[in-house]
């Protein structure tokens, strides 16, 4: 573990937020073996969900009760149970205090800190020096937030810096989502197959994402998934790997148009594949998602049509993280020690050295591939 991630600070220091969530100075942690069961019990007891995470496989939920005489916030936590805790305990954040234990018993639940980031405890591990391949596309899916199914595209989560998921909604129709937001440094949603109707804060009426379309979910932007087609597949890439998701209770979407507003230092981007300009690097055709200007040069994303004859990958610039997600067909990734076939729905993550050392080629046919890169690390 080498440094402290700071995603939480982004949200709380962002002056563009109208009402950032207050920091949590203390919370009663309730160890529980089954999060869904515990949430159901606390809901029945009059608690509401404030936030939960991680998104792909929730292990905790923060819930609150607004009783006028006894406001209470609890964190239902399966990790604490797994670590052997059985009794509720008071967790106090002394770093963001000052908190006096005498008053912590009578704490104010409106004050909230979530120190997650990276591995979940604010730390990250060293960056992998070898390419990281995801498992085959028919691997186990797990049920995450709002009933969506998730599949991990980035084993090891790049030391806690990134999470990349393939998300599947098998049965179309209204999605049981709610207005929410994520405390992230970076988050890209890419529609792979099917369609999904979504609505974003300040971006006007709901709209539909079709295959190849994407949204840069700038840090803290409120949004909601409304409706999906049968067999919707999206790719979601976020940094840091573990980050809180907050329920938005005051803002109703749609809430009008405020184009150009910045969220956590970034602009919102809605990329429409069929309207994007086609460019080329050598014989590789690509469409840029336009993330460079929206993120101050930190991130780049492009959809590449990788031809069948092997060639080096075009890079968006000197970066420390590149993720290739094969959208269709198969991709031959040729490394110094041999080649490897990456099927559709699979991914490979590369550091800067690996990125400059590989060649790629479509396997029998051009391979449309999403390439997402971090060009500059957050300071
Ligand atoms: Fe979301």
Q: Is residue 334 part of a domain?
A: yes
pLDDT at 8 over 50: no
> How far apart are the CA of 168 and the centre of ligand 1, in A?
14
For residues 114 and 51, the answer to whether their CB atoms sit within 8 Å is yes
> How far apart are the CA of 332 and the centre of ligand 1, in A?
32
- Of the listed ranges 25-34, 143-152, 325-334, the one predicted with least confidence: 143-152
> How far apart are the CA of 155 and the centre of ligand 1, in A?
21
Highest mean pLDDT among 2-6, 264-268, 373-377: 264-268
Domain end among 113, 144, 162: 113
Residue 357: other Cβ atoms inside 10 A? 15
> How far apart are the CA of 329 and the centre of ligand 1, in A?
28
Q: Is residue 10 part of a domain?
A: no
What pLDDT digit, counting tens, does each position of 78-133 carry? Answer: 988 887 777 777 776 544 443 333 333 332 222 222 334 556 555 678 888 889 99
> How far apart are the CA of 149 and the centre of ligand 1, in A?
14
Q: Residue 303's closest CA among 281, 321, 336?
A: 281
Q: Is residue 14 part of a domain?
A: no
Domain end among 213, 241, 271: 271
Go through 284-313 and write b for each residue having 16 or more CB atoms within 10 A of its CB, e for each that does not: bbbbbbbbbebbeebbbbbbbbbbeeeeeb
Task: Indicate the number of domains in the chain.
Answer: 3
Are 201 and 266 in the same domain?
A: yes
> How far apart are the CA of 178 and the centre of ligand 1, in A?
9
> How far apart are the CA of 307 and the centre of ligand 1, in A?
34
> How far apart are the CA of 180 and the centre of ligand 1, in A?
6
pLDDT at position 150: 86
Higher-confidence residue: 48 or 101?
Answer: 48
> How far apart are the CA of 104 and the centre of ligand 1, in A?
32
Mean pLDDT of the chain: 81
> How far apart are the CA of 223 and the centre of ligand 1, in A?
6
> How far apart are the CA of 182 and the centre of ligand 1, in A?
6
For residues 141 and 184, the answer to whether their CB atoms sit within 8 Å is no
> How far apart are the CA of 84 and the centre of ligand 1, in A?
31
> How far apart are the CA of 83 and the centre of ligand 1, in A?
29
pLDDT at 226 over 70: yes
pLDDT at 347 over 70: yes
Domain end among 113, 146, 170: 113
Are 181 and 307 in the same domain?
A: no
> How far apart are the CA of 67 and the centre of ligand 1, in A?
29
Highest mean pLDDT among 58-67, 108-117, 131-140, 324-333: 324-333
- Of the listed ranges 249-253, 311-315, 325-329, 338-342, the one predicted with least confidence: 311-315
How many Å apart are CA 106 and CA 73, to the nearest integer? 11
> How far apart are the CA of 63 and the centre of ligand 1, in A?
18
Higher-confidence residue: 14 or 324?
Answer: 324
Are 131 and 214 in the same domain?
A: yes
> How far apart are the CA of 181 and the centre of ligand 1, in A?
6
> How far apart are the CA of 200 and the centre of ligand 1, in A?
10
Are 262 and 140 in the same domain?
A: yes
Residue 67: other Cβ atoms inside 10 A? 10
> How far apart are the CA of 66 and the centre of ligand 1, in A?
25
> How far apart are the CA of 176 and the centre of ligand 1, in A?
12
pLDDT at 28 over 90: no
> How far apart are the CA of 224 and the centre of ligand 1, in A?
7
Higher-confidence residue: 204 or 353?
Answer: 204
Higher-confidence residue: 58 or 111?
Answer: 58
If you average pLDDT over residues 132-137, what whole number do you get? 84
Highest mean pLDDT among 17-31, 66-80, 120-134: 120-134
What pLDDT digit, counting tens, does each position of 241-299 carry? Answer: 988 888 887 899 999 999 899 999 999 999 999 999 999 988 889 999 999 999 999 99
Residue 252, judged by CB atoms within 10 A of its CB (0-12, 13-18, 19+), counts as: exposed
Which letter does DSSP use for residue 275 in this model? G
Q: Which single residue is written with the structure tokens 């990329």?
A: 271
Are 334 and 309 in the same domain?
A: yes
How many Å apart are CA 326 and CA 3, to the nearest integer? 31
If you average pLDDT over residues 170-182, what whole number do you get? 87
What pLDDT digit, counting tens, does each position of 185-219 carry? Answer: 999 999 999 999 999 999 999 999 999 999 999 99
């Amino acid at each position: 573990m080498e440094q402290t991630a700071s995603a939480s600070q982004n949200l709380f220091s962002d002056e563009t937020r109208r009402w950032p969530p207050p920091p949590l100075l203390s919370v009663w942690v309730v160890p529980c073996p089954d999060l869904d069961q515990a949430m159901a019990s606390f809901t029945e007891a009059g608690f509401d969900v404030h936030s939960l995470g991680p998104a792909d496989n929730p292990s905790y939920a923060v819930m609150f009760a607004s009783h006028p005489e006894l406001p209470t916030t609890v964190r239902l936590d399966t990790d604490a149970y797994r670590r052997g805790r059985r009794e509720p305990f008071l967790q106090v954040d002394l770093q963001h205090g000052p908190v006096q234990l005498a008053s912590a018993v009578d704490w104010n639940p409106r004050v909230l800190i979530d120190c997650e980031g990276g591995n979940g405890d604010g730390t990250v591990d060293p960056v992998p020096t070898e390419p990281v391949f995801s498992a085959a596309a028919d691997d186990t899916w797990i049920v995450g937030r709002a009933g969506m199914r998730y599949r991990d595209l980035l084993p090891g989560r790049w030391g806690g810096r990134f999470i990349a998921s393939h998300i599947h909604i098998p049965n179309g129709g209204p999605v049981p989502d709610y207005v929410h937001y994520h405390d992230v440094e970076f988050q890209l949603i890419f529609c792979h197959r099917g369609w999904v109707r979504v609505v974003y804060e300040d971006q006007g009426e709901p709209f539909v994402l079709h295959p190849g379309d994407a949204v840069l979910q700038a840090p803290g932007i409120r949004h909601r998934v409304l409706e999906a087609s049968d067999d919707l597949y999206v790719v979601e890439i976020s940094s840091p790997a573990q980050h809180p998701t907050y329920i938005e209770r005051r803002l109703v979407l749609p809430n009008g148009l405020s184009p150009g507003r910045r969220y956590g230092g970034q602009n919102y981007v809605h990329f429409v594949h069929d309207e994007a300009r086609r460019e080329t690097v050598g014989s590789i055709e690509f469409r840029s998602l336009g993330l460079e200007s929206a993120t101050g040069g930190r991130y780049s994303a492009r959809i590449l049509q990788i031809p069948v004859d092997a060639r080096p990958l075009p890079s968006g610039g000197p970066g420390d993280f590149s993720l290739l997600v094969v959208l269709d067909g198969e991709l031959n990734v040729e490394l110094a020690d041999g080649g490897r076939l990456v099927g559709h729905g699979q991914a490979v993550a590369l550091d800067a050295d690996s990125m400059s050392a590989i060649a790629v080629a479509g396997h029998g046919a051009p391979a449309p591939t999403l390439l997402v890169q971090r060009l500059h690390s957050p300071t």
